[in-house]
Amino acid sequence: MGEEVLSRPCREVTEFGTPELSALIDDMFLTMYVADGAGLAANQVGVDLRLFVYDCPDDYGIRHVGHIINPVLDLPGPGSRRLVDDFEGCLSVPGAAMAVPRTDRAVARGFDKDGDPLVIEGLGYFARCLQHETDHVVGHTYLDRLSKRDRKAALRQMEDRREDVFAQRAVKAARLGQ
């Protein structure tokens, strides 16, 4: 939290198929695994690009692993959507979790690292992940969806737990050879 790159829309990726883009995606996956995350947006590692990676189950236990570049989110309309209030955390707000309403279905449209079109459909927890990570690339965190009171509570949780979270991440990084 507090990094300027997290609070503004990211730049669109315009060059696909480059070794640099592939390396960034690989590095983001490793960073996400070290931090025990289900998703990670490029701006969370200081890179101003519309890109995120994910390794996230849906509500049926199906694991979804991949990346999407320049995502655009399609959500169900008001007449056909179901909002689910569930706890959500964020690697940029270490140690905090708050209930956030999200739709139970989402579709992300974008591109893979080679520039081929992608359409990713998410249900349940995976839909939440797609919405959370797309929020990042447009300059929002889940804290922006909270009331002032809940936002303050989340920031207090982060302050209270941050050192423990970072210590756990350091241990995991050492195990993974980072």
10 is in an annotated binding site: no
Q: Which of the residues 12, 121, 133, 163 is marked catalytic?
A: 133
64 is in an annotated binding site: no
User: Residues for the chain: how many in total?
Assistant: 178
136 is in an annotated binding site: yes
Report DSSP letters for 85-101, one per residue: EEEEEETTEEEEEEEEE
Residue type, 27: D
**Two structure tokens written together for 176:** 């993974």
Active site residue 133: yes
Task: Show which residues are catalytic.
Answer: 133
